[in-house]
Structure 1
Amino acid sequence: MIDDEILAGIEAVLMISDSTVSANELATALGLDEDTVTDAIAELKADYDGRDGSRQRGFELRLVAGGFRIFSRGDYHEIVKDFLTSGQSAKLSQAALETLAVIAYRQPISRPRIAAIRGVSVDGVIRTLLLRGLIVEAGKEATTSALLYTTTHQFLDALGMNSIDDLPEIAPYLPEDSDVAELGADNSEVLATADDEMSDLDDEMSRVDD
């Protein structure tokens, strides 16, 4: 049995990460050896899957691309999809609208670059936009292999546009790709100079909800 503190520590790291975390990264973060981390991961996975008498959780622990990550369990995909696309989630949040704007102006763009521009994690809103059919995966970034995202025809239809060229002129207020790598969590004010222009864009984007 692995100590509860170790299990909780691994869970804490996995819950806040918007990408997979390797056993080595977990070991370094918690000051443990990789064998202990591997055993702990196996114990957590068994617990989440309902083995040994525990209750199966609505989420699961998966090994993806050489790292570990917590996902909602596939059995509940339809429930999650319905929640994200109807009822209280029918309208896009401000965070989703801002993320959609960044993708529209900087496409194709990867999730890490979007997060760097916005200064916050965008993992959840990316999933929402994908489920709403407003963005789509479009290959991988050559240098990092990170997934790239672009807007869809549904996005254009929702805004009543023929092409991305019809978007308002705001792109100059977004940082260039060469600058994005230098942005961190303290740089969320990058878009502050475009407040007036963003408010106009938000008016346009809000039509997606209608």
Structure 2
Amino acid sequence: MTAPEPAEPPAAEPGVTAAEPAAAGPDSAARPGAEPAEPTDADAASHSAALPGADLDGADLDGADLDGADLDGAEPAGALPTERAAAGVPGKRGRRRVAPAPEPAPVLDDAELRGALEAILLVVDEPVSELTLAQVLEQPAERIGPALDRIAAGYTAAGHGFELRRAAGGWRLYTRPEYATYVERFVLDGQSVRLTQAALETLAVIAYKQPVTRSRISAIRGVNCDGVIRTLVSRGLVEECGTEADSGAFLYRTTTLFLEKLGLNSVADLPPLAPFLPDDVEELADATR
């Protein structure tokens, strides 16, 4: 008898891809010309299950822009911008909100600036610089100097018993010299706080020769000046300002209080010594050498 021939598989319909076996062995090979089968819903479910905690249902990852995304601090869904700001959560892409720039200080008119300057000058206990006044009032520094000049000129023109003038690098109100006797009588009330002649001479040497050592001061005056210098230091008129490079002796100079008491802006305003020197000063200097 002739064996029956095996039945041929039905021909595939045009456009339909033949499904691959569910599990292929290690020796199995793809047939030439066969197209890979498209993944089914069951395959997608198995891949989703392989990612722990991943929920990609309905996620559209094609063309997603993840540059700069901050996934650690992800905000809860539906959070409003005000809620995010209150919780301190950064916005999208991890960017923090920029605080608005502070508003500039209002510019005072001339009358307000004059009043503010006068109020400050009435309470200061030492000369105050123009830069400090500008910082306190939050006004341009170039306005402070001319305003103070106008105030000083106004006091002088009105004939007040006080005046505004520069001293020790700043500005301060002072009583006028013509009323000094009345002020002295009121403040001192019979007390004497004048410096001795030795203290005045030593202070003058330091003022014109500063910085200067004790030995140099004593050589100029011809007597020991240690006690007088201690008195001037205790009064706040003289201070130490380092040491001499060669001998290591202390150097002394006048203080800001010295300038304030004399009504000077700097030591450069001291009067010249030439008119007070004797005519034969050079001969005297040669004789002492």
Query: What TM bracket, shorter-length normalisation?
Result: 0.3 to 0.5
Larger Rg: 2
**TM-score, scaled relative to structure 1:** 0.40
TM-score, with length taken from structure 2: 0.29
Larger RCO, structure (CA 8 Å, separation 6 or more)? 1
